Amino acid sequence: MSLRPQAATPKASLHGSLFGPAIHAPPEGFWSRLAVSPPRSPPTAMLATPVPMPTEFTLDAPERADTDADVEMSDDSEVPVLDSVCPTWAYDLGDQVAMVLFDQEPSGTMTLRSSPRRVHNRNPVIAKTVAADGIQWKPMRDVGTTGAAGHVFQLTRGKTAVCRIEVSPTENGEGIRRVSIVQASYAPLAMASGIADRSSLLIYDLPDAHVGSLRTVHAGLGTDPELGYAPVSECCVTHHFDRLVLGMPLGVDYASNVQHRDARRIWDETKAFLKTMSTVTADCVDRYLETEMDRTGTHELRNDYRAWRRAVP
């Protein structure tokens, strides 16, 4: 047997095969078909002249001219700002509005006027209206007792109760001891958690004393510069409220003629209290607004600020 080595025969160079180079450089280079430039090495020598930084990053930047935005910001610093004012002229107290309630936005700011100059209102008081076309009475009972403990007067619109006025008479039954105004949106859990508005439940344990305190506030407005007023614990009634007719549940056994007469008498006293409180509240709202207009010099508001008194006596 012969042990002669086999003569090496050259094999063809095939690109992409196991024989020969698998990758080869294209004729125009690897970067000829790309949309970006090939990476470059950073310069090893310092630049002869440094590139200037943008103006906003330069410590010794020259003063620039005021732009329109700067002028507008400087104008905002001169805008008069009223505090805790209710813009009563902005609400429509139409023919069906019977009651006006108030809530406050403690961390907000609204624009009262935009021309001829801007006027802002910080911590504004918001008015909420209650529309009604009737009043229905029913007795109010305490849990665990058999007799009526008071009266409930429901303000209705159509067949829907939108507000109820709960009245507890005095022990002798000749006067009113407590008045509660409960809105349809009131719920004890919502009130306890702070979700419900404060005006959804208004309670007056001593109605006459509450009116007296309001008169004291009105006398101090304008004389004490530290005294302000936000009617979040009061409400106002309109001429339409005074014209609502009290309806009785005719044909109900528990509504005797004596209860009818007592209910009408208690309703007259309750309505007299609400009308008196409404007038004093509206006077306090207007008086406080006058003091704020004098403080800020916003006399252009005087043309409209008493327009709501055409509906609220």
Tell whether 234 is covered by a domain: yes
Contacting residues for 262 by C-beta, under 8 A, at least 6 apart: 151, 169, 173
Tell whether 70 is covered by a domain: no
Tell whether 174 is covered by a domain: yes
pLDDT below 70 — which residues of the chain? 1-77, 143-148, 250-256
pLDDT at 105: 85
CA 243 → CA 96, 220, 238, 266, 282, distances in Å? 11, 33, 9, 17, 19
**How many Cβ atoms sit within 10 Å of the Cβ of residue 167?**
22
Tell whether 1 is covered by a domain: no
Spatial contact of 235 and 281, defined as CB atoms under 8 Å apart: yes
Find the domain containing 107 and state its range. Answer: 81-310
Tell whether 295 is covered by a domain: yes
pLDDT at 194: 83
Nearest to 173 by CA among 71, 236, 262, 287: 262
pLDDT at 172: 84
pLDDT at 14: 46
The two most distant CA atoms of the chain are separated, in Å, by 143
Q: Measure the CA–CA gap between 232 and 202, rounded to whole angstroms.
A: 9
Residue with the two structure tokens 């009245």: 167
pTM across the whole model: 0.74
Pairing of the two strands 81-83 and 176-183: unpaired
Nearest to 282 by CA among 225, 223, 239: 239
pLDDT at 254: 52
Q: Measure the CA–CA gap between 312 and 164, rounded to whole angstroms.
A: 20
Q: Measure the CA–CA gap between 310 and 149, rounded to whole angstroms.
A: 37
pLDDT at 137: 93
pLDDT at 51: 55
- Structurally, the chain folds into a number of domains equal to 1
pLDDT at 255: 53
How many degrees, rounded to 5, is the angle at CA 311 between CA 307 and CA 313?
95
Q: Measure the CA–CA gap between 82 and 305, rounded to whole angstroms.
A: 14
Contacting residues for 171 by C-beta, under 8 A, at least 6 apart: 177
Tell whether 40 is covered by a domain: no
Tell whether 111 is covered by a domain: yes
Q: Measure the CA–CA gap between 312 and 239, rounded to whole angstroms.
A: 6
Tell whether 15 is covered by a domain: no
Q: Measure the CA–CA gap between 201 and 197, rounded to whole angstroms.
A: 8
Spatial contact of 191 and 201, defined as CB atoms under 8 Å apart: yes
3-state secondary structure 105-161: CCCCEEEEECCCCCEEEECCEEEEEEECCEEEEEEEECCCCCCEEEEEEEEEECCEE
Element (H, E) at 101: strand 97-104
